[in-house]
Amino acid sequence: MSTHEPPGPGPGQEGDGPPSFEKPPPSGGGTPGGSPYGEPAPPPPGYGAGTPYAGAPQAGAPYGQAPGIPVGMPPLGGRGRRLLARIIDGVLVAAVCSLVLGWFVNWNSRSGEATMSLAIGLVYWVYESLMLSRDGQTLGKKAVKVRVARLADGAVPTPGEAWGRAAVYTLPSVLCCGLWVVIDGGWCLFDSPYRQCVHDKTVRSVVVSTRT
């Protein structure tokens, strides 16, 4: 009669049941809907493409941003600062024109006044066009810390856009109707969400703050 006992369960066995061959989970775990081994799932095709200001989506208004403003776009320039920039630029241009042309124009005649007004308007057009095509700022805009940017991507306006924008603001008032400046500039009081004046809408530009 044998006195030997049967061998105990081996590795991976429990009693007389079949051996266990469970595969250990991948290191680092995974995320639901993600890729294995803890790697995040790739973004959906086309995400972040084709939208302005660093490709940020425009839907919604996160972090208190006004509805309709693209995410990543700098804050809009205040209306008061924009008006102050216009006043600064206008005074500078008028002062230069008066110093240069004052020796040749008779201020006491109607023709002299008309000539000076025309000269100031044309000089202002050239001055603003050149400055905006350089970095989006005139001296007045630099002083109050705003700049003109393309609405599509935030870049500096192209030379054509800069000259066209300045022409829409300046030339109608010089050639025919001085009230145009009020109509054009006052448009931003009611425009939403970009506070654009008429000259902004013609070239799809926007005035944003440069304050950090």
pTM (2 d.p.): 0.68
- Extract the residue ranges of the chain whose pLDDT is less than 50: 2, 12-15, 20-21, 28-38, 43-52, 54-65
Nearest to 141 by CA among 196, 86, 205: 86
96: amino acid identity, one letter: V
Three-state SS for the chain is: CCCCCCCCCCCCCCCCCCCCCCCCCCCCCCCCCCCCCCCCCCCCCCCCCCCHHHHCCCCCCHHHCCCCCCCCCCCECCHHHHHHHHHHHHHHHHHHHHHHHCCCCCCCCHHHHHHHHHHHHHHHHHHHHHHHHHHCCCHHHHHHCEEEEECCCCCCCCHHHHHHHHHHHHHHHHHCCCCHHHHHHHHHHCCCCCCCCHHHHHHCEEEEECCC
pLDDT confidence of residue 58: 42
Using CA atoms, how far residue 150 sits from 103, 137, 146, 147, in Å, is: 40, 13, 13, 10
Classify residue 190 as exposed, middle or buried by CB count within 10 Å of its CB (0-12, 13-18, 19+).
Answer: exposed
pLDDT confidence of residue 48: 38
Per-residue pLDDT of 69-122, as tens digits, reads 677 788 999 999 999 999 999 999 999 998 888 777 777 778 878 888 889 999
pLDDT confidence of residue 9: 52
pLDDT confidence of residue 108: 73
pLDDT confidence of residue 56: 38
pLDDT confidence of residue 24: 52
- d(C-alpha 150, C-alpha 160), whole Å: 12
Q: Retrieve residue 137's tokens.
A: 């700022």
pLDDT confidence of residue 130: 97
What is the CB neighbour count within 10 angstroms for residue 60? 10
pLDDT confidence of residue 162: 97
Using CA atoms, how far residue 104 sits from 62, 84, 95, 98, 108, in Å, is: 58, 30, 15, 10, 12
